[in-house]
């Protein structure tokens, strides 16, 4: 059977203040700002991408920072926690770092035999660090966090569901995921080769309130596919399954299709190519504002209205 879904591609979230968002993810968490562009549907708002050195699929966390946007609320029908992986030996380093930066955290806890800590960003987005030596990816060496302690990329995303059965059916029957663990109402699925970056947890949450979108809430989660051809195959299968999947949309750095899973969470399937080096060298990723062709004629006005960003 041809592989259509490899694992996670990116997670996109709404945020408040732009500079606070940059400070949190580049300075505190140590990710690289790999692309500074705008929301293609609303160019008066940045679209910021953070990841590893090249912004590889499975490492990319993106934000639309809307300034004074009210906070969202975690609940069912939402991706509530995005987990990154870090080496086992870095547990004390990260707990000390969060404490020094006045970031409240809870844990360490155990889940599926792995240790993790849980915290939130400045807008309330749920983040976890899972400590594992199963992740062979290289983290971004920003000169402040030792390379051997740097986060490697995504580990898992957690989907809170009121009635998880149809979501599980979608993942296993159409999106090529396999159940690999069950623990206290949490069902873990892997895609592709499995391992960090390829896990999705479906959490049965019958007592949770419904999620409310706002700053700190996830807008959508994207799954990776190898090519335009594999994307069209999964698009066709989703349509045959009754999902209202969109036409292919050009996002410059990948092509995308979108649909809502049965629990209401917006899913995307994004191609791995062409990647973030298509319009600037890897060494310069994230340093200049990149606009899609349709907005180049408005560059001066767009740049004047967007807040200045400083990467420490």
Rounded Cα distance between 146 and 25, Å, is 16
Rg (CA), the chain: 18
**CATH no. for 7-305:** 3.10.180.10
Torsion of CA 308, 153, 246, 277, to 10 degrees: 60
> Could you report the per-residue pLDDT of 20-66, keeping only the tens digit for each?
999 999 999 999 999 999 999 899 999 999 999 999 999 999 999 99
For the chain, which ranges sit under pLDDT 70?
none
Average pLDDT of the chain is: 96
- Alpha-carbon distance of 146 to 95, in angstroms, equals 14
Using alpha carbons only, what angle is made at residue 295 by residues 292 and 301, rounded to the nearest 5 degrees?
135
Report how far residue 127's alpha carbon sits from residue 101's, in angstroms, rounded to the nearest whole number.
15
pTM (two decimals): 0.97
pLDDT tens-digit readout, 139-151: 999 888 999 999 9
- pLDDT at position 121, please? 97
The 10s digit of each residue's pLDDT in 248-273 is 999 999 999 999 999 999 999 999 99
């Amino acid at each position: 059977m041809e592989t259509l879904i490899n694992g996670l591609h990116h997670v996109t979230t709404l945020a408040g203040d732009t500079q606070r968002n940059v400070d949190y993810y580049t300075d505190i968490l140590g990710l690289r700002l790999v692309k500074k562009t705008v929301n293609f549907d609303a160019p008066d708002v940045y679209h910021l991408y953070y990841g590893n050195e090249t912004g590889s699929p499975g490492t990319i966390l993106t934000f639309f920072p809307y300034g004074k946007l009210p906070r969202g609320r975690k609940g069912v029908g939402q991706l509530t926690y995005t987990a990154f992986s870090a080496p086992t030996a870095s547990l004390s380093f990260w707990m000390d770092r969060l404490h020094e930066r006045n970031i409240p955290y809870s844990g360490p806890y155990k889940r599926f035999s792995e240790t993790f800590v849980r915290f939130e960003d400045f807008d309330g987005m749920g983040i976890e660090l899972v400590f594992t030596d199963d992740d062979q990816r290289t983290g971004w060496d920003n000169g402040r966090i030792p390379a051997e302690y740097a986060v490697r990329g995504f580990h898992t995303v957690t989907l809170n569901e009121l009635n998880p059965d149809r979501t599980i059916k979608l993942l296993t029957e159409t999106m090529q995921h396999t159940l690999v663990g069950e623990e206290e109402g949490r069902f873990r699925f892997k895609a592709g080769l499995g391992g960090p970056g390829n896990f999705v947890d479906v959490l049965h949450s019958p007592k949770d309130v419904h999620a409310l979108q706002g700053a700190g809430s996830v807008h959508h989660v994207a799954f990776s596919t190898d090519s335009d051809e594999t994307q069209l195959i999964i698009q066709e299968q989703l349509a045959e399954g009754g999902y209202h999947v969109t036409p292919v949309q050009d996002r410059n750095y990948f092509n995308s299709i979108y649909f809502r899973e049965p629990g209401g969470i917006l899913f995307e399937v994004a191609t791995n190519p062409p990647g973030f080096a298509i319009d600037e060298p890897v060494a310069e990723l994230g340093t200049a504002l990149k606009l899609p062709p349709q907005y180049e004629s408005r560059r001066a006005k767009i740049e004047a209205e967007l807040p200045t960003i400083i990467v420490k």
